[in-house]
Amino acid sequence: MKKLISYVVLCGWALVFTPTIAQDLEKLKDFRLKSIFDEGVKLTGALSVNHTYYQAIEGYDRRTPFVYMYTGNFNATLLNRINIPISFSFTNQKSNFNSPFAGGFPKTQPFNRLSFKPKYKGSTIHLGTSALSFSQNTLAGFRFHGLGYEYRSNHSPIYGSFMYGRLLKAIPIDSSFISPQNRPAYKRMGFGGKVGYKQKQDFIELIYFQASDKVNSLVNRLDSYNIFPESNLAIAINFQKVFFQKLFINAEIARSKIFSEDKTYSFFSKLGQTIGKRSNVNKQAINTSIKYKYQNSDFAFEYSRVDPKYRTFGAYFINADLETYKLKTNNQFFDGKWALSTDLGYQLSNLDHSNPQALRRYVWGFDSNFTPYEKLNLSLNYSTFSNFSNFQNNFQYLTVLEPYQQLDTLNYRQINNNISGVLMYQMSTETDKKQAITINAIHQSGNDQQGSFKTINVLNNVNLNYGLSIEPKKISYSLGLNFIQNQTDVSKDLMIGPVMTYNRNLAKNKVQFSSMLSYTHSNNTIFENKNQSSKSIYLGRIGLQTSIKKVHKFNFSTLLLKVSDTNNSYKNITEITLNLGYSYQFEPIVIKSKK
């Protein structure tokens, strides 16, 4: 069985490259280097520069004082067939965030990118920093620095993709920081591919992905940080079959296993342990669906199961230890004027019964959009889920020493309701004058119950807006009111205030002027001691934008924020942000040889 699967994978790789090689050999005999310049080389692209200056006049700096970002994209077209796009992004800004895959360490991620993607017919080559996706449980958009290849053609039923590159950069321990700014990591290299065969709407895909940490990429090991060198092998099969153009059956079955790099495994040993008998319950993920289409309606049943500790080095995050059953419908009524979709599902966790706590959750909701006539549009969305958890550690319950420890053995119940709606009414739809009223409303409520203890959380958000647009004068106004209320068992927050915008064109429509002014009153009440605090928040923004010969674009904006705390003047904030940007759109340049 192992040899058969290996043979199928190798044959698939041979097939996916066959069409491309055949096409290249056919055109090789007619290819002349000077023919490129006979037909011409077309160059297009754009370049943009953006600088942001930030200054806290009162209070402390909450952002980097000066940030720049340079981006660009260029494309060269050869023989009117071959496209060679290049894109880049450079900045001094870095993002610090705690992510599920960072193990609790802050991770500094630069935004600098350089990508080179030449295209010819159905082939695309990725050079530099790229991202490919084989499936959600193998390689799912994880950025890598290296080489990638994709082939997909309307003239061939065979398609596929390939990647090889660095997934993680080696980051040593930095003792100069008390709190490390980077999560230490070994250099991680990855390799993988996907081959598929498609006929109309039917398809089948085979996926292979592997990655490993390089132990010698760091001088010192990271064992003290509980970071050990590992390798990963993930494989999957994904297919879809359609019957009578109405019944769609889709399934993805993936297996992924993590190995220690401190031990030596052969390729076939890793492949055998990954494919072989599922004695390890933490290496499989399944996603299946059955959908039936009938006239203007769709009915679907979806099932997914991800093992408790399922991991793959090709995904940033996977919602593991979860089994889901879901029914979905999509319907249209009254000649498409009313669209209604519904979801009904059931989820459960603790699939291997290794944790004392188990989760059972019911999820259901609907999304409705109704347009009875041209001027009126109504939409309504509702969703709710109920969690039921039971702490099953009976031994701890029987040997309890303190009464408060019994809280961990009680059933836990959580109910959440979310409802949102939008109403938009166009008061006039004249060519030169348009008026509209928009109302957005959101209500969220949560009810947590643990034994006899209950907590409640309610959030209400309402936005009312009136807009007027005068097309001949290129002027638009809007006046709105925002209302936010958040209440828990211990406190209540209220935020309310108006917002106004004014936009118009100046200098014979050569300059676009935009402005915004808002005021928000914030009030907080603590129920226990009836302590109240309030704030006033002022926000103003002015922007200018102009273009010269449609290829040079300049934009400038300034934003002023002031927060006044009536109870504590030390918490007052006054800050200004200036932004200056420029972009240049290259006019198409055609280079031809002189005859």
Q: Is the pLDDT of residue 17 over 60?
A: no
Per-range mean pLDDT, top range of 13-27, 252-266, 436-450:
252-266
Nearest CA among 391, 387, 463, 379 for reference residue 421:
379
Nearest CA among 501, 430, 499 for reference residue 471:
430
The answer to whether 494 and 520 have CB atoms below 8 angstroms apart is: no
- Segment holding 22, helix H or strand E: helix 2-28
Residue 241: inside a domain: yes
Look up residue 177 and give its two tokens: 């920081």
pLDDT in tens, 73-85: 888 887 677 777 8
Mean pLDDT over 132-158 rounds to 92
Give residue 431's identity as a one-letter amino acid code: T
Residue 376: inside a domain: no
Residue 22: inside a domain: yes
The answer to whether 530 and 523 have CB atoms below 8 angstroms apart is: no
Q: Which residue segment(s) compose the domain that 131 sits in?
A: 1-31+93-284
pLDDT in tens, 175-194: 554 344 457 889 999 999 99
pLDDT grade, residue 198 (50/70/90)?
A: very high
Q: Which residues partner with 257 through β-bridges?
A: 233
Residue 61: inside a domain: no
Quote the CA–CA distance of 234 and 211 in Å, as a whole number. 9
Q: Which residues partner with 531 through β-bridges?
A: 526
SS3 state at 428? strand
pLDDT at 429: 67
Quote the CA–CA distance of 132 and 558 in Å, as a whole number. 38
Owner of token pair 């993002």: 95
Quote the CA–CA distance of 313 and 257 in Å, as a whole number. 10
> Torsion angle, CA of 345/351/354/359, rounded to 10 degrees?
0
Specify the long-range contacts of residues 83-88, CB closer than 8 Å, at least 24 apart.
Answer: 83/118, 83/119, 83/120, 84/116, 84/117, 84/118, 84/119, 85/116, 85/117, 85/118, 85/119, 86/115, 86/116, 86/117, 87/113, 87/114, 87/115, 87/117, 88/113, 88/114, 88/115
Q: Which residues partner with 459 through β-bridges?
A: 444, 486
Residue 17: inside a domain: yes
Residue 336: inside a domain: no
What's the first-to-final CA gap in the chain, in angstroms? 63
pLDDT at 484: 92
pLDDT at 386: 61
The answer to whether 216 and 207 have CB atoms below 8 angstroms apart is: no
Look up residue 574 and give its two tokens: 């006054």
pLDDT at 14: 37
SS3 state at 39? helix
DSSP 430: -
Residue 216: inside a domain: yes
The answer to whether 480 and 466 have CB atoms below 8 angstroms apart is: yes
Per-range mean pLDDT, top range of 95-104, 372-381, 560-569:
372-381
Q: Is the pLDDT of residue 10 over 70?
A: no
Quote the CA–CA distance of 275 and 253 in Å, as a whole number. 11
Residue 15: inside a domain: yes
Q: How many domains does the chain have?
A: 1
57-66, 309-318, 458-467, 512-521: the lowest-pLDDT one: 57-66
**DSSP letters for 79-99:** TTTEEEEEEEEEES-EEEE--
Q: Is the pLDDT of residue 174 over 90?
A: no
